Chain A
Amino acid sequence: MTPTTSPQPTARRATGTRATRVLGIVTLVMLGWLLLFGLVLSPADIDQGDAVRIMYVHVPTVWLAYLAFIVTAVCSGLYLFGKRHSLGFDRVAGASAEIGVVFMALTLISGSLWGRITWGVYWQWDARLTTTALLFVTYIGYLAVRGLDGTRERRARRSAVIGLLAVVEIPLVHWSVRLWRSLHQEATILDTDLDVDIDGLMLFTLFSGVIAFTLLFVWLLLHRTRTIALDDLLASRGLDRAIAERRAEVSSSSPSGGGS
């Protein structure tokens, strides 16, 4: 008896490559490093005590959310004003906005826990907190617009315009503590005097956090952009198939047996 051999489906790659795997491992190591320094090795603050440890996740997440939204704006600009109107830029813009929203959500969560310790409340309608919440909601709106009906190009054009307009909120959020009277402290690192008023080990831990979250952002961006590219390809195939089926239906139902 001869066994019937059916062709084995070849294993298809997902969104990972050797480079992303190495990047992923380095990112995990850096995040572990951040946990060690943030929770154990860095000293407590004279004024805030151990509550300052929240800074090592709060500040990097907000900086990376800003970076993600700036990447969205730059890619939106490149899509709108570039000669080729490449959908690749639109995909990076969308992926970056998704990651930015996740980081911004984490900023709000860690910030409210920090606020509970230092101010006694989780939330205040303070200038910095309110503008940050507004920025978060704006980018949720951006993502909602990306999901609206329409051709791929029309959706890309619509969201690119919003991506360019929304980024204007970032300086407003950053400078809100100076523009209005705010409960929130002023910037420790990026202040106007460029005077870094922070202990050496605390600064080291903070920058470790920034590096860890930056690597994480790049890793997530690569994977998410590739997934969106795959989904676009599958959607266009589905559309091609639907058009072909419709043409076949029309041609079979017409009396002459052929479509016009």
Chain B
Amino acid sequence: MTTVIAMRDAGFILGAYAATVAVIGSFALWVLRAGRRSGRLVDDEEKYWT
């Protein structure tokens, strides 16, 4: 970890990785929550993947 922090321009590099993780994580959570919300209102027989 200290090696990573000691990198030159560590703020920009870690910022790029942090932004990627944050954006993808938020989008994935939003997708899962939306699916869960809508899934509750529909019977399993009507879902083509079940």
Contacts and interface: CB of A to CB of B under 8 A. Distances in A.
A106 B10 contact: no
Given A13-B44, A13-B47, A234-B42, A53 B13 contact: yes
B39 A13 contact: yes
Interface residues of B, number: 35
Contact of B24 (A39, A58, A102): A102
Contacts of B41: 12, 230, 234
A224 B27 CA distance: 10
A102 B20 CA distance: 10
A230 B35 contact: yes
Chain B's interface: helix, strand, loop or mixed, by majority?
A: helix
A227 interface: yes
Interface stretch (A110-118, A162-170, A199-207): A110-118
Contacts, number: 113
A230 B24 CA distance: 22
A50 interface: yes
A173 interface: no
Interface in A198-248: 216, 220, 223-224, 226-227, 229-231, 233-234
A12 B39 contact: yes
Interface residues of A, number: 40
Interface string B37-49: 0111111101111
Nearest to B1: A40
Interface of B: 3-4, 7-10, 12-17, 19-20, 23-24, 27-28, 31-32, 34-36, 38-44, 46-50
Cβ-closest 9 pairs across A and B: A15-B35, A14-B39, A230-B38, A50-B7, A14-B36, A110-B16, A227-B35, A14-B35, A113-B12
Given A14-B40, A230-B42, 19 more contacts: A14-B36, A39-B4, A39-B13, A50-B8, A50-B9, A51-B9, A57-B17, A99-B27, A102-B27, A110-B20, A113-B15, A114-B16, A117-B9, A216-B24, A226-B35, A227-B31, A227-B35, A229-B48, A230-B47
27 contacts: A12-B40, A13-B39, A14-B39, A15-B31, A15-B32, A15-B35, A16-B35, A17-B49, A17-B50, A39-B4, A40-B3, A50-B9, A50-B13, A53-B7, A58-B16, A106-B20, A106-B24, A110-B16, A110-B20, A113-B13, A114-B16, A223-B35, A226-B35, A230-B38, A230-B42, A230-B47, A231-B38
